[in-house]
Amino acid sequence: MTEKFEVLFQDDHVIVVNKPVGWLTIPGRGNKEGVPILSHEVGRWLRAGADRTNPSPDLFVVHRLDQGTSGAMILAKDADTHRTLSHEFEEGHIKKIYWAVVKGNPGNRKIDLPLFKLPSKKNKSVVDPKGKPSQTSIKTIMSSEGYSLIEAELHTGRPHQVRVHLAHEGFPLVGDKLYGGPVEVAGINLEWPQLHSRLIGFSTKAKGQLELIADPNSTMKLIFEQLGWSPTACL
């Protein structure tokens, strides 16, 4: 494991971490040996005693990030919190902002296109009238050399929503082979789509409303450096 998860916040009910790229959220079919599973690793860390207030919690996955996506992710420590947060996600009350590096410059726009998960293609979605309503707000942060760093706020939570919406508009994520994105940028060969859960906002029992920010992964930072994007503006 070249990168480790970072704890962004925790209390008796939740723990929020910065998920490393390449890690699975939960076990899945066809897991490769040696691939870290975030829910397991966080559970081991807590059981080792790093969490002095609750040394042996049960962890509940509230939402998932794809293996290649890094960033802020919430895990619940009890069933009641899991039910509450799951409902908040379903109702669209959780604030979710992602960063992505894309080909081209999409400017600022709201994409409102239904997404349909193809039954014949594992883990692939398309824009289709028979799909579920899906809305993403896009803001371009900076651009150079034919690429842009964008901020995507999700108003719904469909599989591959940011990736499919941007690819359909003609601005695929770099590294996103599944949806036609380039696999090399600024001399960097990319294994994963450059997508990062930058901010997550939710309400806690003790602290009220929280907004937590996760630093980008090392590959995304290297892209920033190679394209001359200022860390003070990006990080």
Phi, psi of 87 (to 5 degrees): -65, -40
Catalytic residue among 11, 12, 58, 66: 66
pLDDT the model gives residue 235: 46
CA–CA distance from 161 to each of 9, 138, 171, 179, 229 (Å)?
26, 12, 13, 11, 26
Alpha-carbon span 90 to 146, nearest angstrom: 36
Thinking of the domain 6-234, which architecture would CATH place it in?
2-Layer Sandwich (3.30)
Task: Supply the DSSP string of 176-203, one letter for each residue.
Answer: -GGGT--SEETTEE-SS--EEEEEEEEE
Per-residue b/e over 145-175, b at no fewer than 16 CB within 10 Å? eebbbbbbbbbeebebbbbbbbbebebbbbb
Give the per-residue pLDDT at 48: 84
Residue 182 phi/psi, 5-degree rounding, is: -65, 145
Q: What is the structure's pLDDT at 234? A: 54
Question: Which two structure tokens, joined as six digits, stand for 134?
Answer: 């899906």
Q: Could you confirm whether 66 is annotated as catalytic? A: yes
Q: What is the block-wise mean pLDDT of the chain (235 residues), using blocks of 10 residues?
A: 85 96 83 85 84 61 95 95 94 95 98 94 90 97 96 95 98 97 96 97 88 96 93 53
**Spatial contact of 173 and 100, defined as CB atoms under 8 Å apart:** yes
Query: What ranges in 67-109 are assigned the alpha helix state H?
Result: 79-90
Distances (CA, A) of 7 to 17, 47, 66, 186, 225: 4, 15, 19, 31, 25
